[in-house]
Structure 1
Amino acid sequence: MKRNLLATTMFGALALQLALPASEAAADPETGGTLRILGTAEVDRFDTVPPATAVTGNFFRAVQRQLVSFKASDDPDEQIQPFGDLATEIPTPTDDGLTYTFTLRDGANWDAPDGARQITSADVARGFKRMCNPSLPSPSISFFDGLIEGVTEFCEGFADIEPTPEAMKDYIEGNDIAGIETPSDDTVIFRLTEAANDFIYLLTLVPASPAPIEVLDYLPDSPDYRENYIASGPYTVESYVPDSVVHLVRNPAWEAESDPLRNAYVDEIDVIAGVQADAAMQQLQSGDGDMLYDIPVPPVTVQMLNMQGDDKISAVAQGSSKMVWINTVSDNNDGALRNLKVREALAYAIDRAAVVQQFGGEEFASPLHGIMPSGVVGHHEFNLFPTPDDKGDPEKSKALLAEAGYPDGLTLKMPFRNLGSDPAVAQVIQASLQEAGFTIELIPTPASDFYARLITNFENAQNGVWDLVPSGWSPDWPGGAARSIYTPQYTYDGTHGTFNFSDYNNPEATELAEQALVTTDLEESRELWEEVDEMVTADVPTIPLVSLQTVMYHGEDVENFLPYAAGGQGDWTNVWLDR
């Protein structure tokens, strides 16, 4: 049985540089200075096991390393290509895709209490063991449970252990995960239960970071853990004032020649919390701040900066998408939405250009015509339901409705989340569809109820509580994340899945998806995912609306501002300051 490596969150942080202006890098890098990062919230986790928010990816980029990671780049293809970080290279799997053997870089060190110490294969294995600790387990363990041999058994045993540092340390050091072998200090071997070419991308996740033995003396992410912080990246935590500032300084154990991804030009980094959006933008423009942490640039500010020709504005696509789900399981309108021509009529009717404007304009969103958003392998340019300038084609839609036997149109119920831009987007969808002959009844729904009680409750679909519903999705890692979009939303094995709202099922597409996952030829995998995208889009279980982007901005003194794919912002470890 194929396991389900799915993302159950509606949020994520993936990055893809778009064709917007970027700052010119200085001719020669400069070292030194303090980089000032402005945020509303503080860095919520220091421990690699339980990262909770996407923006912490930038913090961990600075202080911890993984076997595999991404380059900071303004090249869209390079951004989502995995590179060896602690690993000397990305290995070609053996044993029909079931075995991955990694060699660790010499000189990649821990800033251990007794001085610099080489990171070893035992540290890599220890990092995976910590993920299912009973004190503060990582949600990311679900990606490896059932995929790496022995993870399930190891975690089942760990669940019975008392959540104290002593007991957990004894269990971790006294038990092994069968599918993680450490034949030498510089070699780690992973054995999988099934071929999965996205395994490489899973290794870029922060919870997959190695762990030094010293951290087992403390509860995960406890005050003691933070006070005795051990880094493997170019920076380490020198001081921390809750809800105020995290101060990073150079890690004396870090060796530049061992790190192909981080240049570490600045000497120190301050992550400053408690700054509101307007104040943050003012500080960046006045030179009192350098980069943003968790603060989105407001659309009004973006318009002003564009009018001023400010070249410090750019954008990243987070791999997030918005779509409209179509209910094909209810008997509303005598099951009219099960008719492909009716669904095609809906697809032709949508004014995507107007939806883009409701998200703030082209800096914030771009029309999407498939199920794979920008920043995900499988995304490509195609359009099965083209309309002039993406503004919809009501006449084409009316013709299809008439062919389907509904010349007088249909009345459909569309709940929407009553939060942020969602009400305005719902009104745009309503107007588009009504121009094409549909009557849309909008049902505002509290945000707290929308996913939890309405659309993830399959009985509401079966009972016809809704006909259409605007929704959104993001994968949990960049690049090879097509599985995390396709599997939870567009596969059906006879049992209703939480996020496949209409039990959509296309066995041919699923067969292609399985081929895409097991091939060791990544180009072949990309082509197969592109076929899956087009095949599912042709069935119209959903109507893709837009890919979402995050607008980035930085201060005048920042040079070499390049996006980091897993952080959705510029890479702290590769900018320099020209003060």
Structure 2
Amino acid sequence: MRTGKVVAVGAVAVALIGMSTACSKNTGKGGNGDGPTAKVASGSISTDPADSKGPAAAIKGAKRGGTIISYHERDYEHLDPQRVYISDGQALDQLVTRQLTAFKFDPKTGKSILVGDLATNTGVDVNHDGKTWKYTLKSGLKYEDGTPITAADVAYGVARSYASDLADGPHYIQQWLAGPGTYNGKYKGPYNGGAAVPPGVTVSGNTITFHLKSSQREFPYAASWGTTSPLPKAKDGKPQSIDTHPFSSGPYKIESYTRGTELKLVRNKYWDPKSDPIRHDYFNELDVKIGVAPSDQTNRVLADHGDDQYAVTDQPGVSPELTGKVLGDPSAKGRTLNGYLPYAARVDINTQRVTDVNVRKALNYSIDRKAYVQALGGTAQAAPATTLMSPTAAGWNKYDAYPGAGTPDGIAKAKKLLGGKHPKLVYAYANTEAGQKLATVLQTAWQKAGFDIVLRSSDPDNFFTLIDRKDNGWDLYSTNWGADWPSGSTVIPPLYDGRTIAKAGNQDTSYLNADDVNKQIDKIKAEPVAQGTKDWGKLDEYIMTKYAPSIPTYYIKQLSITGSKVHDVKIENPPGAISYVDAWVG
């Protein structure tokens, strides 16, 4: 999955095993740039149905009532749960929509487990072969209008995810149901006469069963994504309307949404906390203010006056140039959020356009990560990356395929690879404060090696959707990725299996399609989990060494500040963003 921060956060370079699902909250600890320490969490799949029962454990001291203000620099790309694949959208949908399964964090143990959300458990492997998965919905589940949530609605939600116009979300379940090849080559969703239940899915009463083409032991993880969010066919109407007003199955619903300006959530009175092991509805309203520059967010919440006592610098967080001011202000102690996110940022090289591998290697040798980190706010906000996988991912392999990048030695190696040529390349970036600054840093570094770099700004609200198009027309662009669940199988295959490339909705945005890489992906998928965990890290290095389809830039971290009246806002992985499921004001 991608973080909604685009290019505005920093990172950590420590190795964590499995998935870092720890939360960092305003507890009064930290506040020195390190913040609360990220904890190791298992991310394991619960086998005890009791873990899936609600209500969620009460938060000590929490009160009901009040409004939380969430400041955002840019708008959400998508809120339609079948289209969401960016962390800020996923974090908001965490309050509005529910799925068959979800991650539940236990602050007492510091571990997360996957539990049943809409479902009574994490799924039944019917034939014990990983190919047939059965889910039974909990009783009494209702939408925002009081109508019941049914298994047929879950099936319809999955069906929608096949539509080419809704291809922005994850494709795991669709691919596993369809088998090898393009997942929507034959069945294209419920529109234009398509069936309301996709091939390979059966519904009986309150149960839904998935009949996969191959064994997928990790299916319960994939079921936690918006792919399995329910929607009655009668409420679908025009598919694009769901993108701004998803039909609520969670504790909150959208009251109003003006794109680019403001979004307001209010309680869904039909949500039953007894059915939900994860969420609370302590605050009355979440008011998302959109279009607020990071510097304005930071200064306003740091001052802690008036309504800003109830505010959060949510997206992208503390402005890089104000990092020192925040960390050095005694009044901010206890109000900082500082936690690790499971993402590695990179610049993708469009290998369809930049076909010479020596040019791609020269781009890697000439990047100046030191200047890049400084532009992000220094070491409190960022750490340089040399790998495609994040250090938080299981099987992370620490290596540097292009040592000395950005140094005189690295520039010399880049020039040698270019052999006197001066390639003219277009670098596209999201038109934000950080995007503008970092584009200049990259341009300066690459031009030292002899590149002619043309900068092209792009709408930040639609940036990822544009680079996901096969014919995007750009040579270089910054992006990022984090594991969709605790497995390297959710990093390397989505990003570098060229057989998945389609006209739109691509995760492989370097558009690399190499037979030897594809074969290694298949081999590792068939290995025992322990062996595969190691081999994903090895394949990471192989891809970068042989093909250089991307340029790792930094590992991502969140630094935010809250108003003094906001409590238990947390950084959670997933969704790899600020989460409000436990938040309250007072």
TM more than 0.5 = yes
Residue in structure 2 matched with residue 361 of structure 1 by the alignment: 378
* CA apart distance, 1:533: 1.1
Q: 1:261 to 1:36 in 2, by over 3 A?
A: same
**Paired residue for 2:142, among 83, 87, 110?**
110
Distance 1:13 1:202 in 2: 28
Q: Secondary structure at 2:386's aligned position in 1?
A: coil
Q: Tell me by how many angstroms 1:24 deviates.
A: 1.0
Q: Partners in 2 of 1:245 and 1:494 — Cα distance? A: 34
The structure 1 residue matched to 2:477, chosen from 471, 474, 478, is 471
- Cα distance in 2 between the residues matched to 1:434 and 1:302: 29
Provide the rounded CA distance (Å) in 2 between the counterparts of 1:10 and 1:572.
Answer: 17
Q: Choose from 308, 316, 322 the match for 2:346.
A: 322
Separation of aligned partners in 2, 1:77 and 1:369: 29
Deviation at 1:147, TM superposition (A): 2.9
Work out which of the two has the higher radius of gyration on C-alpha atoms and give 1 or 2: 1
Match of 1:57 among 90, 112, 122: 90
Indicate yes or no: 2:232 matched with 1:208. no
What pairs with 1:190-339 in structure 2 (closer than 5 Å)? Answer: 190-196=210-216, 199-212=219-232, 215=235, 219=238, 231-236=248-253, 239-240=255-256, 242=258, 246-249=264-267, 251-256=269-274, 258-262=275-279, 264=280, 266-273=282-289, 276-277=292-293, 280-281=297-298, 282-283=300-301, 285-286=304-305, 288=307, 289-292=310-313, 294=315, 296-308=317-329, 310-311=332-333, 312-313=335-336, 314-317=338-341, 319=343, 321-323=345-347, 325=349, 337=358
Q: In structure 1, what is the Cα distance between the partners aligned to 2:241 and 2:120?
A: 32
Contact 2:484 2:490 in 1 (8 A): no
3-state SS, counterpart of residue 122 of structure 2: coil
Q: 1:160 to 1:296 in 2, by over 3 A?
A: same
* CA distance, structure 2, for counterparts of residue 495 and residue 112 of structure 1: 37
Whether the 8 Å contact between 2:7 and 2:478 is mirrored in structure 1 is no
Aligned to 2:564: 556
Look up the SS of the partner of 1:302 in the other structure. Answer: helix
1:557 Cα deviation after fit: 2.2
Q: Within the alignment, does 1:29 sit opposite 2:61 as a pair?
A: yes
Provide the C-alpha distance between the structure 1 equivalents of 2:329 and 2:519, rounded to a whole number of angstroms.
51
1:50 and 1:459 map into 2 onto residues whose CA distance is 19
Query: Match for 2:153 among 123, 127, 130?
Result: 123
Distance 1:362-1:197 versus aligned 2 partners, 3 A rule? farther
The alpha-carbon deviation at position 323 of structure 1 amounts to: 2.9
**Equivalent residue runs for 1:479-498 within 5 Å:** 479=485, 486-487=492-493, 490-492=496-498
Question: Are the equivalent residues in 1 in contact too, given 2:446–2:453 (CA < 8 A)?
Answer: no
CA distance in 1, matches of 2:472, 2:375: 31
* CA offsets 1:60-117 (integer angstroms, 9 cap, x no match): 21132111223357899957x644323344347556432223344x4562157567x5
* Partner Cα distance (2:354, 2:86) in 1: 36
Structure 1 residue 181 displacement after superposition: 2.4
Aligned length: 524
Residue 57 of structure 1 deviates from its aligned partner by 2.3
Answer whether contact 1:324 1:470 (CA < 8 A) is retained. yes
- Alignment match of 1:535 (pick from 539, 542, 548): 542
CA contact (8 A) 1:411 1:441 kept: yes
- CA deviations over 1:320-352 (Å, ceiling 9, x no partner): 512363979979xxx7828xxx93x76555432
Q: Which amino acid aligns with 2:153?
A: D
Please say if 1:512 is aligned against 2:520. yes
**1:430 to 1:370, Cα distance in 2 relative to 1, 3 A:** same
Q: How far is the alpha carbon of 1:458 from its aligned partner?
A: 8.5
Cα RMSD of the aligned pairs, angstroms, is 5.1
Q: Offset of 1:574 from its aligned partner?
A: 1.1
Q: Is the 8 A contact 2:22 2:111 kept in 1?
A: no
Gaps of 5+ in 1: 1-5, 162-167, 461-465
**Which shifted more, 528-537 or 119-128?**
119-128
Q: Displacement, 1:210? A: 1.9
> In structure 2, what is the equivalent of residue 90 of structure 1?
122
Residues 204-236 of structure 1: per-residue CA shift (max 9 Å, x gap)? 2224212357636x555759x96xx96432334
Structure 2 unaligned spans of 5+? 12-18, 30-58
Distance in 2 (alpha carbons) for counterparts of 1:484 and 1:143: 9
Q: TM-score, normalised by structure 2?
A: 0.70
After superposition, the Cα gap between the structure-2 partners of 1:206 and 1:476, relative to the gap in structure 1 and judged at 3 Å, is: farther
- Distance verdict in 2 for CA 1:360–1:62, change over 3 Å: same
Distance 1:368 1:321 in 2: 8
Task: Flag the 1:114–1:353 CA change in 2: closer, same or farther, 3 A.
Answer: closer
1:147 aligns with 2:180: no
Alignment check: 8 A CA contact 2:497 2:512 kept: yes
Aligned partner of 1:546 among 551, 554, 568: 554
> Using a 3 Å threshold, how does the CA distance of structure 1 residues 293 and 156 change in structure 2: closer, same or farther?
same
Residues 174-189 of structure 1 mapped to structure 2, 5 A cutoff: 176-183=197-204, 185=206, 187-189=207-209
Distance 1:203 1:148 in 2: 13
Match of 1:68 among 101, 105, 123: 101
Deviations 1:130-182 (A, max 9, x none): 44579x85643855444325985984473433xxxxxx9xx63xxx4341223
Give the % identical residues.
18
Q: In the alignment, is the contact (CA less than 8 A) between 1:38 and 1:280 conserved in 2? A: no
Name the structure 2 match of 1:463: none
SS in structure 1 of the partner of residue 521 of structure 2? helix
Q: Is the 8 A contact 1:347 1:540 kept in 2?
A: no
Q: 1:201: how far off?
A: 3.9
Equivalent position SS for 2:358: helix
Under a length normalisation based on structure 1, what TM-score does the superposition of the two structures give? 0.71
In the aligned structure 1, how far is the partner of 2:344 from the partner of 2:465?
20
**Amino acid in the other structure paired with 1:479:** W
Distance in 2 (alpha carbons) for counterparts of 1:485 and 1:562: 24
Superposed CA deviations along residues 508-554 of structure 1, whole A, max 9, x for unmatched, are x43332244455x5544432321211222232513322234443222
Q: 1:336 to 1:261 in 2, by over 3 A?
A: closer
